[in-house]
Amino acid sequence: MWFVGTAAVVWLDSRAHATFRTSFRLAGLAALAATVAVWWVAGDASAGGAYVSFAAAIVIWGWHEMGFLMGFVAGPRRAPCPPGITGMARFRAATGTVIHHELALAATVLVLFALCWGQPNQTAPLTFALLFVLRLSAKINLFLGVANLSDEIFPAHLAYLKSYFGKRPINVWYPVSVALGVAQVIWAWHFAQASAGGAAITAMLLVGLGALGVVEHLFLVLPLRDGKMWVWASATKPKTTAVRTATLD
């Protein structure tokens, strides 16, 4: 689901701008159906219920990613970073480019937890919350500076975001973010071993998702261009320079 879902978003986002509204609306209908599915199976503690909830959360996440990458939901600031600014001024400017999207993701986390409140199947809200945290962590790393931006497939209409990213071998947040990611994977693994049925399936799905998140964090500093994995999925094979998508991050 991670690989195929990312490839689908890359393909849709690389098509002509005239197709964006239709693609986003159809994906929105799919996300609405997925939200209903989350509510429908919230009381289902079986393995099947866990898989349905996980898939629904991924569909909803994909819709949000399309909204960001297509430029519908990003932030009030749509311009490159002003030259010479540093510290909190640079942070405020960078936050202004993505804050609407971050708020939309946070609101969706709250909605999913509300739909599943007091129910045995918490797969969807936990999956979406983990994706949100991983993505936010990757954004912080990109802002503070990493060695590998992996900028092959980010859309040209959002290329101004690259001006807000730092370029350095490593930053102070990076080792903390990787350590926390590994800790989440280990905790979820042990929880899965001590659980049964849908709870065990949910924990193992979070193990896999968390492990993928750690791998994507490692790509931030390794001399490997992970963005090239998605070039094949682009509908136009754009030659413009762009920035890392971090779809899972």
Nearest alpha carbon to residue 56 among 10, 157, 125? 125
- Tell me how far CA of residue 9 lies from CA of 69, 113, 152, in angstroms: 9, 25, 14
Mean pLDDT score, 96-122: 97
Q: Return the bridge partners of 19, or none.
A: none
* pLDDT at res. 225: 65
pTM of the prediction?
A: 0.90
Instruction: Read off the pLDDT of residues 43-58 as tens digits, 9 standing for 90 and up.
Output: 999 999 999 999 999 9
Residue 247 — very low, low, confident or very high, per pLDDT cuts 50/70/90? Answer: very low
Share of the chain above pLDDT 70, in %: 89
- Is pLDDT above 60 for 166? yes
* pLDDT at res. 6: 83
- Is pLDDT above 90 for 138? yes
* pLDDT at res. 235: 67
Residue 227 — very low, low, confident or very high, per pLDDT cuts 50/70/90? Answer: low
Instruction: Read off the pLDDT of residues 71-94 as tens digits, 9 standing for 90 and up.
Output: 999 999 999 999 989 999 999 999
Residue 153 — very low, low, confident or very high, per pLDDT cuts 50/70/90? Answer: low
Residues listed for the chain: 249
Residue 151 — very low, low, confident or very high, per pLDDT cuts 50/70/90? Answer: low
Mean pLDDT score, 34-38: 98
Instruction: Read off the pLDDT of residues 175-217 as tens digits, 9 standing for 90 and up.
Output: 999 999 999 999 999 999 999 999 999 999 999 999 999 999 9
* pLDDT at res. 248: 43
> What is the average pLDDT value for the chain, to the nearest integer?
89
